[in-house]
A = this chain, B = another copy of it.
Amino acid sequence: MDPSCTCELCELKELFFGNLERKYADVICSGKVEKEFSKGETIIREDTHISDFVYLKSGLVKLYKRGDDRTEQIISIAKPFDYVSLLSVFSTNLYNYSVTALEDSVTCNLKMDVIRSIVKENGPLALSLLQKMSRVADAIILDSLRIRKKHLRGRVAFLLIRFATEVYFSNEFELPLSRKEMAEYVGMTTENVIRSLSEFRKDGILKIYGKTIQIVNMKTLKSISEFG
């Protein structure tokens, strides 16, 4: 294997390389390209031709669909090694979703036709991909169902808890989303998301300094997320 191909922390390594014979590993190694994106930069634009299989190495991104006017619908927030381009990639020639960096991010890109041809010759790798895709799709669908059961405040609480427990591992963090984006994710209005945050602040559940959120009363927030 090409020694320069050292994605030490990269799940790609497990995903692909654990299942690859040397000859394929070399093909992938030599074909992979790392790309850096600053916060706010678009990584994938929907309705664009799919040429690359894109994997997130570091950073944070949003997966979303553009609307008619200036509205977007956010489908999910992805941490490193979550899917990214994994959906649609095998079913169509055009990306169905857009992806934008919420924080400075690095992706690892591989040519789709290389992936496709290697998948054909490598069952274990294919099985890994099936598992990965299955997990990603499930997570998106289940989250969406969870959110739909809640009211405004519950949705906002859910989102905050997500960031605290699964992205930043801290009760204090800087929101990677604007209020508008939070609204696009939970399917409510920007004003109403702001109102919820203000209420949480007034109730002593949160402290808010611009985009910095400190969860003071996680217990209450959790119960709001569950019921509301």
- Least CB distance from A134 to B in Å reads 4
The interface residues of chain B lying within 8 Å CB-to-CB of A119 are 123, 126-127, 130
Among the stretches A88-96, A158-166, A201-209, the one at the interface with B is A88-96
List which A127-160 residues lie within 8 A (CB) of chain B: 127, 129-135, 137-138, 140-142, 144-145, 148-149
The CA of A48 and the CA of B52, in the complex, are separated in Å by 37
Check if B127 sits within 8 Å of A116, measured CB to CB. yes
The CA of A88 and the CA of B139, in the complex, are separated in Å by 10
Check if A138 sits within 8 Å of B91, measured CB to CB. yes
The CA of A130 and the CA of B134, in the complex, are separated in Å by 9
The CA of A67 and the CA of B90, in the complex, are separated in Å by 32
Find A87's partner among B90, B126, B132, B134 (CB 8 Å cutoff): B134
Task: Determine whether A18 belongs to the interface, using a CB cutoff of 8 Å to chain B.
Answer: no
The interface residues of chain B lying within 8 Å CB-to-CB of A145 are 65, 73, 75
The CA of A96 and the CA of B141, in the complex, are separated in Å by 10
Task: Determine whether A2 belongs to the interface, using a CB cutoff of 8 Å to chain B.
Answer: no
The CA of A135 and the CA of B142, in the complex, are separated in Å by 17
The interface residues of chain B lying within 8 Å CB-to-CB of A228 are none
Find A138's partner among B87, B116, B121, B124 (CB 8 Å cutoff): B87
Find A134's partner among B91, B122, B124 (CB 8 Å cutoff): B91
Find A73's partner among B131, B132, B148 (CB 8 Å cutoff): B148
The CA of A144 and the CA of B148, in the complex, are separated in Å by 10
Measured CB to CB, the residues of A under 8 A from B are: 65, 67, 73, 75, 87-92, 96, 116, 119-124, 126-127, 129-135, 137-138, 140-142, 144-145, 148-149, 187
